[in-house]
A and B are shown apart, each in its own frame.
Chain A
Amino acid sequence: MFKLSDEGINFVKKELARYETKRSAIIPCLYRVQKENDGWVSPESVSYLSELMELPEAWINEVLNFYTMFNKKPVGKLHVQVCNNISCCMLGARELTDHLCKTFNVKPEEISEDGKITISKVECLGSCDTAPMMQINDDYHENLTPGSAEKIIKGMLNGN
């Protein structure tokens, strides 16, 4: 059974009181659940959150399913999101994505067998002057080449 940590429960209580309506706390609370649930939001964690927040499950599912930053299925420990929008594509983002998928033996949007990595193609991340670029978990990595991106990821995998 999924449960938030005590710290997580306090966070939810604070967020519920922070905005003009309780409903506005759904996005921040889903982020918290995702953080404490290995990077994704499971159906059971939605039921749990609904009880904790005293809000209908349908409201939480509405938000969960609309926004792309909530993962509805498990993701790798490293969630590598390569921008595949126009400026990045002009400068080799798709070749970069292909290279990473091949190197780490994983299909786009899927989780690697060892659960360590997911590579996703995402829309513009607002860093077009440093194209091509990727986001790994919370951080941006910019001005990439296939080689430099591979090195960054390998470094992080070894560090884990």
Chain B
Amino acid sequence: MEIKLLTEHYDKKEFRFIEGYKKLGGYETLKKAFSLKPEEIINEVKASGLRGRGGAGFPTGVKWSFLPQNGEKRYLLCNADEGEPGTFKDRLMMERAPHQLIEGMIISAYAINSPKSYIYVRGEYNYPIKVLEKALQEAYDAGYLGKNILGSGFDHDMDIYRGAGAYICGEETGMISSLEGKKGQPKLKPPFPAIKGYLGQPTIVNNVETLAAVKYIIRDGAEAYRKYGTEKSAGTKLFSVSGNVNKPGTYEVPLGYPLMDLINNECGGMKNGAKLKAVIPGGSSAPILTAEEVQKTTMDYECLAQMGSMLGSGAVIVMDDSNCMVDMLKVTLHFYHHESCGQCTPCREGTGWIHKIVSSIVNGEGRLQDIDLLEKIAQQMMGRTICALSDAAAMPTLGFITKFKDEFEFFVREGRSKVKEVRAHA
């Protein structure tokens, strides 16, 4: 069953504007936050077990506590560069509940003592940016941003930065490079952004959903938040479900929720009663699960790790048996090849090669040894680069060819898809 914490008021239009938001309890948590010491907020977030909702799943409170204990100016960056294929939950949050994000950000900024934050939004998200700009102005006019907020003595300025089309800017150091006005290439870690980030200053980068969740953790307390989810995966999570289901969309369920329930209950089952073939559980970087594996999957960090996949951004792509897996891998790899920033050789060359090899199979020019070659290249692309994009291309490759080897072999042998005709497109 859905637990509507962050999405409770999504359907109410007035929630998008400050008056309606306040009527529904908005900015009350900010007042509560100012009655607490910053360390108390950090401790509460730590105790809640909240983990980053953008993809990496790193504990938020722990990330915050990496900041150096000194007077250096620190920045808070909200990662709204939602680009992982299959993911659209943050867009909905910005459109439907912009003040919820802003309130969560002010509370988080207060906790880490940051005078300045940016919301880095992907360039294509024109409409969400417009909604956010209006909300930001409303928050300034109401005195929730600027100098001496609500008489707390805390000053904070917030701004929006529009990206310009690059998946890699969702990687936190890539985002920092981009915000600095450069190409969005990731930086070598360490030093981590918490030590040396935007313009060399300590910087915390958190996802939209993570920052919004902070508001609810402070409102209800860590213990109440922990009532949802599992021991290691606390709280609720927004899942973006797409593909061959009756009701694709964003659903908020407690972590640990059975994947089959998400498909059958929230999403109304498979479209046209088709047979489930596979699910990509956490965005296209997450290794695919077979129908059999899906039956025993619960949507939490530990179960998906155990299944050799990952929760990622919570983008669930559901596939029925009309999908050709060789074709789907080709589409996936085109993306990673296109989005590689070109900085590290294993990624720049590797993503190109594996895409070329899968394309040649789809074109009926595959050789049997190509399947082993794909595996070999993918293995060599992992753990050898500055950021995780190379791994993000290699992992699904290994997943597809291991779990659907018969389809790859059939395609090579027969020169056509085992599932359906795959046409060459313009």
- Residues 55-89 of B contacting A (Cβ, < 8 Å): 82-88
The answer to whether A98 has its CB under 8 Å from any CB of chain B is yes
In the complex, A108 Cα to B338 Cα: how many Å? 16
Chain B residue, CB-CB nearest to A128: B242
Residue B126 CB within 8 A of the other chain: yes
Q: B127: which A residues are within 8 A, CB to CB?
A: 139-140
Instruction: Point out the residues of chain A lying under 8 angstroms from B159, CB to CB.
Output: 18-19
User: Which of B45-53, B181-189, B382-390 contacts the other chain?
Assistant: B181-189
User: Does B163 touch A at the CB level, under 8 Å?
Assistant: yes
Contact A97 B425 (CB under 8 A): yes
Q: Which residues of A contact B244 (CB under 8 A)?
A: 90-91
B85 contacts A67, CB within 8 Å?
no
Task: Mark contacts of B361-404 with chain A using CB atoms, 8 A cut-off: 1 yes-contact digit, 0 otherwise.
Answer: 00000000000000000000000000000000000000000000
* B181 with A87: CB separation less than 8 A: no
Q: Are A97 and B86 in contact (CB under 8 A)?
A: no
Of A30, A84, A124, A138, the contact of B86 (CB 8 Å cutoff): A124
Contact partner, A87, options B182, B183, B243, Cβ 8 Å: B243
Whole-angstrom CA separation of A32 from B316 in the bound complex: 36
The CB with the most chain B CB atoms within 10 A, among A70, A86, A139, is that of: A86
User: Is the beta-carbon distance between A127 and B91 smaller than 8 angstroms?
Assistant: yes
A residues in contact with B198, CB < 8 Å: 20
Chain B hits for A31, CB < 8 A: 162, 164
Q: Which residue of B lies closest to A89 (CB)?
A: B331
Question: Which residues does chain B contribute within 8 Å of A42, judged by CB atoms?
Answer: none
Q: A68-B165, A123-B339, A129-B241 are in contact. Are A90 and B323 (CB under 8 A)?
A: yes
A140 to B129 alpha-carbon distance, docked (Å): 14
Residue in B closest to A140 when the chains form the complex, CB atoms: B127
Q: CB-CB < 8 A to A59: which residues of B?
A: 181-182
Total number of residue pairs linking A and B with CB closer than 8 Å: 149
Stretch at the interface among A21-29, A43-51, A150-158: A21-29
Partner of B181, one of A25, A125, A129, A138: A25
B184 x A123 contact (CB < 8 A)? no
Which parts of B267-314 form the interface with A (CB within 8 Å)?
280, 284
Residues A27 and B162 in contact, CB atoms below 8 Å apart: yes
B contact residues around A62 at 8 Å (CB): 182-183
CA distance A126 to B87 in the complex (A): 6
B-contacting residues, A108-129, CB 8 Å: 108, 123-129
Shortest CB-to-CB span from B377 to chain A, Å, is 21
Bound-complex Cα distance A28 to B91 (A): 20
Q: A28, A65, A129: which contacts B242 (Cβ < 8 A)?
A: A129
Tell me if A144 is interfacial: C-beta within 8 Å of chain B.
no
When C-beta atoms are compared, the residue in chain B nearest to A106 turns out to be B426
Q: Assess whether B425 is in contact with A94, with CB atoms less than 8 Å apart.
A: yes
Residue of B nearest to A67 (CB): B164
B211 to chain A, nearest CB (A): 18
Considering only residues 3-61 of chain A, those with a C-beta below 8 Å from chain B are 18-28, 30-31, 59
Q: How far is the CA of A65 from the CA of B184 in the complex (A)?
A: 11
Q: Mark A73-96, 1 if CB is under 8 A from B, else 0.
A: 000000000001111011100110
For chain B, the bracket of interface size reads 35 or more
> Nearest CB to that of B342 among chain A residues?
A66
A residues near B183, Cβ cutoff 8 Å: 62-63, 65-67
**Interchain CA distance A120-B254 in the complex, whole Å:** 39
Q: Is A149 an interface residue when CB atoms closer than 8 A count as contact?
A: no
Contact, CB under 8 Å: B181 / A128 = no
Within the complex, the shortest CB–CB distance from B279 to chain A, in Å, comes to 12
Instruction: Give the docked Cα–Cα distance between A14 and B183 (Å).
Output: 22
Given contacts A62-B183, A86-B86, contact A124 B335 (CB under 8 A): yes
Q: Kindly specify which of B101-109, B117-125, B409-417 makes contact with the partner chain.
A: B117-125
Establish whether residues B182 and A125, one from each chain, have CB atoms under 8 Å apart when the complex forms: no
Known A27-B181, A108-B426, A128-B87; contact A86-B332, beta-carbon cutoff 8 A: yes
B124 touches A69 (CB 8 A): yes
Asked whether any CB of chain A lies closer than 8 Å to the CB of B179, the reply is yes
B335: A residues at CB distance < 8 A: 85-86, 123-124
Question: B180, A69: Cβ atoms under 8 Å?
Answer: no
| Residue in contact with B85 in the complex, picked from A63, A123, A135, A138, CB distance below 8 Å | A123
Q: Are A129 and B331 in contact (CB under 8 A)?
A: no
* Shortest Cβ distance from A26 into B: residue: B181
Task: Say whether B164 contacts A21, CB under 8 Å.
Answer: no
User: Contact between A129 and B199 (Cβ–Cβ < 8 Å)?
Assistant: no
Partner of A126 from B125, B166, B182 at Cβ < 8 Å: B125
The listed residue (A27, A85, A90) touching B164 by CB distance below 8 A is A27
Shortest distance in angstroms between B218's beta carbon and chain A's nearest beta carbon? Answer: 28
Known contacts A70-B164, A87-B242; 8 further A-B pairs (Cβ under 8 A): A67-B166, A85-B331, A90-B323, A97-B426, A107-B426, A123-B85, A126-B83, A126-B90
A sample of 13 inter-chain contacts (CB < 8 A) reads A19-B159, A21-B180, A22-B181, A62-B183, A86-B284, A86-B317, A87-B85, A89-B331, A90-B317, A91-B243, A94-B423, A124-B87, A140-B127
Interface residues of A (CB under 8 A from B): 18-28, 30-31, 59, 62-63, 65-70, 84-87, 89-91, 94-95, 97-98, 101, 107-108, 123-131, 135, 138-140
